[in-house]
Amino acid sequence: MMASGWSANQFSALLGAYRSELGLSESAVTGLFALYVVGLIPGLLVCGPLADRVGRRPVASTALALNLLSTGALMLGAGATGWLWPGRFVTGVSAGALLAAGSAWIKELSSEPYVHLDPRTASTASRRAGLFVSAGFASGGLVAALIARWAGAPMVTAYVPHLLLAAGAGLAALTAPETGTRHRGTHTERHPGVGRLFRRGVLPVAPWVFAAPSVGFVTLPGLVHGGL
């Protein structure tokens, strides 16, 4: 989960470098940022039900492998900007898959029978996935910005921490217990009323969770750079 959030925001810290050093236009940078969301949505919508059917580990492990490959493509983008486009799209797909499958997996691993929970603290299990992904969102942009400021070849070296993080997460995924049951059906099939509640209550506001900060990520670096 932390690797998912990290991969999403590490690119944000390099927007200024892509403009100034690679000569990308404002529209190109904005398009690259938006391409992440284009991949994120199908990753979320497809891989959640898929993880219910085939298990958490296959989906999460495949998503982590794609997450690694997407960062590798972004590193290649320092020399050939064409790599940035598939890199950002696959980052979105893999991040969405990790959010969908990983959040359910962590919640299940944090509950009985895998751990013994005090009834007074049992509700923390559902919040752990959110804490991990939030830590990734915060750390990815910060670490990438610090590396970009002080290290050489920032459009390559800023991505190295994520490679290490995703590789470690992949090893952890291979050894973690599988909590899903094959062919048990999707959550909506097992709880028929959930789909309607989701469409009415969650779907209309969920995109703004990403849209609101994304506007800041895209516009503020240019405004700050222009004011310096």
Instruction: Give a yes or no: residue 211 inside a domain.
Output: no
Q: What angle do CA 196, 47, 182 make, to 5 degrees?
A: 95
The pLDDT of residue 183 is 45
Instruction: Give a yes or no: residue 204 inside a domain.
Output: no
The pLDDT of residue 212 is 67
Instruction: Give a yes or no: residue 97 inside a domain.
Output: yes
Instruction: Give a yes or no: residue 101 inside a domain.
Output: yes
Instruction: Give a yes or no: residue 205 inside a domain.
Output: no
Instruction: Give a yes or no: residue 88 inside a domain.
Output: yes
The pLDDT of residue 219 is 63
Instruction: Give a yes or no: residue 63 inside a domain.
Output: yes
The pLDDT of residue 166 is 94
Which CATH number belongs to the domain containing residue 166 in this structure? Answer: 1.20.1250.20
In this structure, are residues 179 and 56 in contact, taking their beta carbons and an 8 Å threshold? yes
Distance (Å, whole) CA 69 – CA 94: 10
Q: Which domain holds residue 89?
A: 2-183
The number of distinct structural domains making up the chain is 1
In this structure, are residues 151 and 18 in contact, taking their beta carbons and an 8 Å threshold? no
The pLDDT of residue 206 is 66
Q: What angle do CA 90, 102, 123 make, to 5 degrees?
A: 145
Residue with tokens 């927007």: 15
Instruction: Give a yes or no: residue 56 inside a domain.
Output: yes
Residue 211 CB coordination number (10 Å) = 10
Q: pLDDT below 50 — which residues of the chain?
A: 183
In this structure, are residues 48 and 39 in contact, taking their beta carbons and an 8 Å threshold? no
Q: What's 150's DSSP letter?
A: H
The pLDDT of residue 13 is 85
The pTM for the full model equals 0.81
Distance (Å, whole) CA 198 – CA 82: 37
In this structure, are residues 111 and 125 in contact, taking their beta carbons and an 8 Å threshold? yes
CA distances from 124 to 1, 114, 145, 187 (A): 16, 15, 31, 21
